[in-house]
Structure 1
């Protein structure tokens, strides 16, 4: 088996519901244009506050995939 080479991209998903949904949003959109996604790591979690409550979650992830 040959050695593999991987590339990482960084994307930010958003959600008004949860952190997990923001991650899923990022992965879903990335998978529409990049093949063979293998893993992800959460880099940053943040959100918007309106009137003292969370209005929107924003989660930045790095996503790894093997190059052809």
Structure 2
């Protein structure tokens, strides 16, 4: 029987929401094993001088416990 755990993490990127998501998974995989999926709970962006400067995501990461 598999036991899964869900954690919430935040990530940001100057490129895109997709890049922020990829960076979050890459960083999380350094300390978490068996990542099964990520769910993008929220997206937001920072704006400065009428320009988007940063894309932000709030993710739920699901992974299997050893």
TM-score by structure 1 length? 0.91
**Unaligned residue ranges in structure 1 (runs of 5+):** none
* Counterpart Cα distance in 1 of 2:12 and 2:28: 13
Report 1:9-28 matches (<5 A): 9-28=7-26
**Which has the greater radius of gyration?**
1
RMSD over aligned Cα atoms: 0.7
Partners of 1:9 and 1:64 within 8 A in 2:
yes
**Unaligned residue ranges in structure 2 (runs of 5+):** none
Name the counterpart of 1:60.
58
* Counterpart Cα distance in 1 of 2:58 and 2:26: 13
* Counterpart Cα distance in 1 of 2:21 and 2:33: 18
* Counterpart Cα distance in 2 of 1:11 and 1:27: 10
* Counterpart Cα distance in 2 of 1:37 and 1:5: 12
